[in-house]
Amino acid sequence: MRDQLQRVYYAEQGTDRRRRLEQGSARKLEMIRPGTKRTNSRDQAARGRKYKRRKDKSDWAFYGLVVMAVLLLFFYSKVRAAGQEDMARDQALYYREQVDGYTKIIREELADRGYANSGITTTCIIDGQIRTYRIGIHHERLNRLAEEGQAELLGALEEIPFQMDGVKTELQIIL
């Protein structure tokens, strides 16, 4: 069969190009073995479609992997941020407990000096690594006290130690 096809091809080789192109489809028909279907051209198209489908699937797989990687990075950053948030919250609670203990000592000292129901307000200012707590004391009798008496009271309260690294305290009387 192959010999016959080669003979037909070589026999047509002597004709001019235009004639060969006109006879191309007829020659293709002659080259098809008897008993086979005429699906060669369709097979070529089907192969192209299969390749395209395979390529589309690989494109989808690539895009899926990219989306998954982006989601993983997003959730990883969220978990990391949540962990840092927990640490910051724990640190803030620790400092809050320390300041509450300090204000309790100040309340006791004020009660010993006759200002039992004094109000104490605490304001925290964070500047880098340094925390400054402004502790304001207010009482009706403190308002009527002379400036020298107020300064003496503040001097006595400032002697109460509050020893923590990176923490400053400022006491003031709020009028």
Check residue 12 and give its pLDDT: 53
Of 117, 114, 133, the C-alpha closest to 125 is 133
Check residue 167 and give its pLDDT: 85
CATH no. for 74-173: 3.30.70
pTM flag (> 0.95)? no
* SS3 assignment, position 165: coil
Q: Who wins on pLDDT, 141 or 51?
A: 141
Residue 102: exposure state from Cβ atoms within 10 A (0-12, 13-18, ≥19): buried
- Percent pLDDT > 70 in the chain is 64
Report the 10 Å Cβ neighbour count for 162: 17
108-155 pLDDT, tens per residue? 999 998 888 888 999 988 888 888 999 999 888 888 888 898 889 889
User: d(Cα 50, Cα 61) in Å, to the nearest integer?
Assistant: 16
Model confidence at 79, pLDDT cuts 50, 70, 90, reads: low
Domain ranges of the chain: 1-38, 74-173
Q: Name which of 35-39, 55-59, 157-161, 164-168 the model is least confident about.
A: 35-39
